[in-house]
Amino acid sequence: MRRPAVDTVRPVASEPAPRVAPASPAGTLDAESRRWLEALSGTGHARDEAIGRLHELLLRAARFEVSRRRLGLPYLRGGDHDDLAQQSADDALVAVLAKLADFRGESRFTTWVYKFALYEAAVKLRRRAWQDRELPLEPDSWPDIASRALSPEEHAAESELLGALRDAINDALSAHQREVLVAITLNDVPIDVLAERLNTTRGALYKTLHDARRKLRARLAAGGLDLTSNDAGHPR
Amino acid sequence: MRQTTAQSPTPALGEWRRRRLIAAGFDETLAARLTRDGIVDLHELLVLLDRGCPPELAARILAPLDTPAAPS
Amino acid sequence: MSDARARERARLITALLGPDGPELTCEECFEQLDRYVDLALAKAEPDRAVPGMREHLVGCPACRDDFDSLLEFVGGGGVPPASS
């Protein structure tokens, strides 16, 4: 039996842990979620039937994720797409059944299980997309965001900030921190692709990325550079 | 999220890992040993090197206890 | 500065410097993602219930990708496209 999908990641100790609002009180599961849990916690034919229905849900989610990323994998044939979806659903099923006791009703049961299937499919697809590619661990070139449309003052400010960032990346970071930062943020290497190459976990790499970013911020702040206008990429 | 499981890497992945460790300063024999079985976490090795740990000591720290030490 | 340039500048700087403030780890993000998505779809103040999640989704492209997928799939009724 495969190991459950669990990432034993150390938390980022340098920042105070955000306080998460308390979970829903026991006994507040919605009716559908309760039915799922009862069926999957049962025995015999009823449980087997529930597992079958659960696998169908997971497969539906996995197919969605494969379809969503289809354009990024043009060399995969239709059969390969469904193989990936099936593998993802199978792996997600193992993970869900292993963690069933952890479901606390803070979300709908279906949302909770979909999360596992989408994650498994996304990781497999990202790794497949990169499996024959060399990982760019150095910046090929700095993104050119200066523009003739900028005023001379704006251009100067841009150049100063980018120059300071380049210097900080070259001087303030350790070798491995620099590689992780550049690979993930400048060269768009997916973090789980890099994690597989290095035989480590997403969380361990993200901690290194977090540490590198903290050093960059400290270096720029020490140089008196304004970082207040860097807000971008809200999740919604 | 998936736990890191020990499985022998594909030849291409093993070669990539071996070259990565050589580039970081490991000698070829040690790099080959560390990447053969898919057990050692290369990220943790490289973090140790970043902190000034010599390659051979980093390997000794992270190699499983039941793995014989490399001949010096 | 044009809007497009300003957005690209902001995107690059955020990618390099990460989010402001404390953030969840990847593991914590995965644990709470379903709750966050259901709250977001119900417009029930997800950032109050799961502080640090928004910041992590800004800083971690892979977790942001996972969030986008779950939000789109669950928000669309859990039905894959017909072509799949």
Domains of chain A by start residue, with CATH: 31-130 (1.10.1740.10), 152-222 (1.10.10.10)
Could you tell me which residue, A209 or A25, shows the higher pLDDT? A209
Locate the chain B residue with the closest alpha carbon to C31.
B1
Poorest-pLDDT segment among A36-40, B5-9, C18-22, C70-74: B5-9
Q: How many residues does chain B have?
A: 72
Neighbours of chain A (3+ CB pairs under 8 A): B, C
Q: How many CB atoms lie within 10 A of CB A151?
A: 9
Cα of B2 to nearest chain C Cα, Å: 10
What residues of A are in contact with residue C25 (Cβ under 8 Å)?
Answer: 9-12, 203, 206-207
Residues 6+ apart with CB under 8 A from A199: B4, B9, B17, B38, B39, B40, B41, B42, B43
pLDDT single digits (tens) A53-84:
999 999 999 999 999 887 777 666 667 888 99
CB contact under 8 A, C18 and A122: no
Does position A14 have pLDDT exceeding 70, yes or no? Answer: no
CB contact under 8 A, B1 and A119: yes
For chain C, domain boundaries? 3-75
pLDDT single digits (tens) B8-47:
788 889 999 999 999 999 999 999 999 988 889 999 999 9
Predicted model pTM: 0.82
Note the pLDDT of residue A140.
56
Task: Give chain A's mean pLDDT.
Answer: 81
Q: How many CB atoms lie within 10 A of CB C49?
A: 18
Cβ proximity of B13 and A169 under 8 Å: no
CB contact under 8 A, C69 and A65: yes
For chain B, domain boundaries? 11-62
Cβ proximity of C25 and A206 under 8 Å: yes
C-alpha–C-alpha distance, residues B43 and A13, integer Å: 18
